[in-house]
């Protein structure tokens, strides 16, 4: 019988779900190369490949067969062909703009382990989707709010989460859409550079974010009495500021956050949190010729009377700090540790830290490719963002399940 690829789920899976891959109909102990390809919405190609040897019966199951040296990865890695995808264009990041359409994954099996692919033995296509059937995507233009709400299938009430992205502006939907598949009413919130929102805000008014909290709590499908916040980088900093000053925030999951105002000051009523100073000359050269900016932010814990640190001790929420030990943009592990010491000194126990080795600044949901060298969010120069392929792939999966468990517990 001719070789064929067997996938489970067969034709379609969610982007953050595992995919079981097997090949049947090979010769006994036949050597083959498996390759995955995916094109993003701009047409840029991402690929990974691995060398395998079939079992005595001609079966090859990636859950039981280790990849041999020479490909994108080696060892027993059932999802390696997904997490090892890398762009053919250097420094390119996989981004999903339209979550209503899936990414199309192409799988191919080639004869042998040569430098160039051998004869094509089998191929298959598979859709990696962002919305489970029945999950609703609702554009929100209420008052000043510019957002998209994702509602899980059904008429029940669901725990509510506001998802806030980092510097760069715009409306970012992939993480919120994936969270909604897991039973959370999730609002992807834009806060600048989107439609009629400010292009270059002089300050971020927490009243805008308060409006989003109130919108969620008034929604008939959002279960009160409060909401959760999930923020990355600048968005995590915004989430921490919301928790310090606003009511009805029950739980905050912060991904690699500065714990002081950076780049754009915060204001709330008559209170201003000024920005911490950035020293671009403190960027360090690395072996890879790209700059490491992890030391450019003034330490908000060292400057006496520092006004830029976010006063988290005022917040009543539960805090989950998710940090990459190899974050080269923000010293996120140091900040999380120091801020938790301050909370502890005030007799508080409303915090936990998840710290991941080999993990850089970008912590995306599972199976997004590692983005370890890219444009610095402030200086717009090529920078080391940090992270190492295999360690990061494990951190993604674990952090994603821990974040969901955290919100289930406290919402």
Q: Are residues 115 and 140 both part of a single domain?
A: no
Q: Do the beta carbons of residue 20 and residue 63 sit within 8 Å?
A: yes
Mean pLDDT within 111-125: 95
The pLDDT assigned to 402 comes to: 98
Half-sphere exposure of 374 (CA within 13 A, CB side): 20
The pLDDT assigned to 378 comes to: 85
The pLDDT assigned to 377 comes to: 82
Structure confidence by residue, pLDDT tens digits, 237-280: 999 999 999 999 999 999 999 999 999 999 999 999 999 988 98
Active site residues: 233, 327, 361
Q: Are residues 141 and 272 both part of a single domain?
A: yes
Structure confidence by residue, pLDDT tens digits, 86-106: 999 999 999 999 999 999 999
Other Cβ atoms within 10 Å of 76 Cβ, number: 11
Tell me what the pLDDT averaged over the chain comes to: 96
Residue 3 clears pLDDT 90, i.e. is over it: yes
Phi first, then psi: what are they for 78, rounded to 5°?
-55, -30
Q: Are residues 217 and 356 both part of a single domain?
A: yes
The pLDDT assigned to 202 comes to: 95
Q: Are residues 202 and 313 both part of a single domain?
A: yes
Lowest mean pLDDT among 112-121, 300-309, 340-349, 378-387: 300-309
Q: Are residues 234 and 140 both part of a single domain?
A: yes
The pLDDT assigned to 223 comes to: 97
The pLDDT assigned to 304 comes to: 66
Alpha helices in 61-189 (DSSP H): 80-83, 174-181
Q: Are residues 175 and 72 both part of a single domain?
A: no
Q: Are residues 11 and 113 both part of a single domain?
A: yes
Alpha helices in 287-388 (DSSP H): 332-345
Half-sphere exposure of 279 (CA within 13 A, CB side): 9
Structure confidence by residue, pLDDT tens digits, 127-159: 999 999 999 999 999 999 999 999 999 999 999
Q: Do the beta carbons of residue 311 and residue 344 sit within 8 Å?
A: no
Q: Are residues 361 and 294 both part of a single domain?
A: yes
Q: Are residues 238 and 281 both part of a single domain?
A: yes
Among the candidates 79, 111, 129, a domain finishes at 129
Q: Do the beta carbons of residue 234 and residue 263 sit within 8 Å?
A: yes
| Separation of alpha carbons 402 and 392, rounded Å | 15
Q: Are residues 189 and 209 both part of a single domain?
A: yes
The pLDDT assigned to 285 comes to: 84
Greater model confidence, 288 or 408:
408
**Residue position matching structure tokens 């490719």:** 369
Cβ within 8 Å of residue 232, ≥6 positions away: 164, 165, 166, 175, 255, 256, 362, 363
Structure confidence by residue, pLDDT tens digits, 301-321: 987 667 999 999 999 999 999
Among the candidates 129, 157, 192, a domain finishes at 129
Among the candidates 129, 154, 183, a domain finishes at 129
Residue 341 clears pLDDT 90, i.e. is over it: yes
| Separation of alpha carbons 6 and 202, rounded Å | 54
| Separation of alpha carbons 61 and 192, rounded Å | 47
- Segments forming the whole domain that contains residue 58: 4-129
Q: How many domains does the chain have?
A: 2
Q: Are residues 106 and 198 both part of a single domain?
A: no
Q: Tell me the two tokens of residue 162.
A: 């506001």
| Separation of alpha carbons 140 and 147, rounded Å | 5
Structure confidence by residue, pLDDT tens digits, 397-407: 999 999 999 99
The pLDDT assigned to 361 comes to: 96
Residue 79 — very low, low, confident or very high, per pLDDT cuts 50/70/90? Answer: very high
CATH number, domain of 402, equals 3.40.50.1820
Q: Are residues 150 and 111 both part of a single domain?
A: no
CATH number, domain of 102, equals 2.60.40.2240
Beta bridge mates, 32: 52, 111
């Amino acid at each position: 019988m001719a070789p064929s690829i067997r996938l489970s789920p067969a034709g379609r899976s969610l982007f953050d779900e595992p995919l079981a891959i097997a090949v049947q109909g090979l010769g006994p102990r036949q050597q083959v190369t498996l390759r995955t390809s995916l094109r993003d919405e701009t047409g840029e190609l991402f690929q990974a490949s691995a060398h395998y040897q079939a079992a005595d019966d001609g079966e090859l199951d990636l859950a039981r067969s280790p990849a041999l040296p020479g490909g994108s990865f080696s060892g027993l890695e059932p999802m390696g062909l997904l997490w090892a995808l890398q762009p053919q264009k250097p420094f390119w990041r996989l981004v999903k703009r339209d979550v209503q359409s899936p990414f199309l994954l192409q799988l191919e099996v080639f004869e042998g382990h040569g430098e160039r692919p051998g004869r094509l033995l089998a191929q298959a296509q598979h859709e990696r989707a962002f919305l489970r059937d029945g999950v609703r995507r609702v554009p929100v233009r209420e008052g000043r709010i510019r957002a998209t709400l994702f509602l899980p299938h059904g008429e029940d009430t669901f725990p509510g989460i506001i998802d806030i992205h980092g510097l760069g502006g715009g409306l970012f939907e992939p993480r919120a859409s994936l969270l909604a598949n897991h039973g959370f009413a999730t609002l992807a919130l834009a806060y600048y550079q989107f439609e009629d929102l400010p292009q270059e805000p002089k300050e971020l008014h927490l009243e805008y974010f308060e409006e989003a909290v109130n919108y969620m709590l008034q929604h008939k499908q959002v279960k009160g009495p409060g909401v959760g916040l999930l923020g990355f980088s600048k968005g995590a900093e915004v989430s921490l500021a919301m928790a310090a000053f606003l009511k009805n925030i029950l739980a905050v999951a912060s991904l690699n956050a500065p714990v002081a105002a950076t780049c754009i000051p915060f204001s709330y009523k008559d209170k201003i949190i000024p920005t911490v100073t950035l020293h671009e000359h403190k960027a360090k050269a690395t072996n890879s010729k790209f700059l490491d900016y992890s030391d450019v932010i003034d330490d908000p814990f060292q400057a006496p009377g520092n006004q830029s640190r976010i006063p988290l001790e005022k917040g009543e929420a539960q805090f989950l700090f998710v940090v990459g030990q190899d974050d080269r943009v923000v010293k996120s592990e140091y900040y999380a540790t120091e801020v938790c010491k301050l909370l502890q000194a005030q007799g508080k126990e409303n915090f936990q830290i998840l710290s991941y080795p080999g993990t850089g600044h970008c912590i995306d949901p599972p199976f997004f490719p590692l983005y370890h060298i890219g444009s610095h969010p402030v200086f717009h120069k090529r920078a080391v963002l940090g992270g190492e392929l295999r360690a990061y792939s494990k951190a993604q999966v674990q952090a994603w399940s821990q974040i969901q468990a955290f919100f289930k517990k406290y919402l």
